[in-house]
Amino acid sequence: DLRSFFSTLTQSTGPHGGKFSYVSPNTDLLGWIIERAAGRRYSDLMSELVWQPMGAAEPACITVDRLGAPRCAGGMCTTTRDLARVGQLIVEGGAWAARQVVPAAWIEDIMLNGDAEAWNAGSFVPYFPGAAMHYRDKWYVERGTAPLLFGLGIHGQNLFIDTKREIVIAKHSSQASPLDAGLIALTGRFVSEVRKALS
C-alpha cells in the first residue's frame, strides 16, 4: 500500500531548498498530511472545497490504493472541460460565481515566488530548453511579462493558464512514454502559437 511504501524511501537527492527535483511521493505524502490534519478524506475535501464550488460539471475520481489512500500525485481523473474549469478558476483569481474558492494570494505566490536558480540546477531543464522557469506549490511557471502557469502530467496531461491574456488550454493524451521531450516541445510550440494568435 502507498503509506507503507513511504517508509521504504530513505534516500534523498539533496537537501531541502536545493535544486529542483520532482518527487511524486512527496505529493502523495502531502495528501496524507491533509487528511490527518482535517480528519477527513482527501476526496471529500477536494469535492467540497474546490470541485463543487468551482462549478465542475461532472464528478471526478481519485485513484486509491487497496487501503483507500489517495494517489494525489497523479490519480485524479476528470473530463477535459472540467480540467479547463480549474484553469479558468485561476484566470478569475481563484473565484467563481462570486465565491472565492482558492485564495488569490496563493495564485500570486505561485506566479512570483518560485526559485529560478533551483529550477536551473534541476533535472527538468532539458524538457524546456532556454525557457526561464520555476516550480512552486505543485505548479510550473514559465516566467516573463505574461507568465504561463501550467500543470505537467505524465503521458501528456496538461493544463496551461495565461492569466494576463485569459487563455486556458487543457489537454488529455495517451502518450506511450511518461515524459517525452519531443512531445513536450511540440505541445509547447502549439501553446505558444495559440497565445500569440489570441493576444
Q: Which three cell numbers stand for residue 182?
A: 519531443
Q: Which CATH superfamily is domain 20-198 in?
A: DD-peptidase/beta-lactamase superfamily (3.40.710.10)
Q: Hey, how many other C-beta atoms are within 10 angstroms of the C-beta on 68? A: 12
Cβ contact 28:72 at 8 Å: yes
pLDDT tens per residue, range 84-137: 999 999 999 999 999 999 999 999 999 999 999 999 999 999 999 999 999 999
**Domain map of the chain by residue range?**
20-198
> What is the pTM (predicted TM-score) of this model?
0.94
Share of the chain above pLDDT 90, in %: 92
Cβ contact 159:78 at 8 Å: no
Q: What is the 3-state secondary structure (H, E, C) of 123-142?
A: CCHHHCCCCCEEEECCEEEE
pLDDT tens per residue, range 59-86: 999 999 999 999 999 889 999 999 999 9
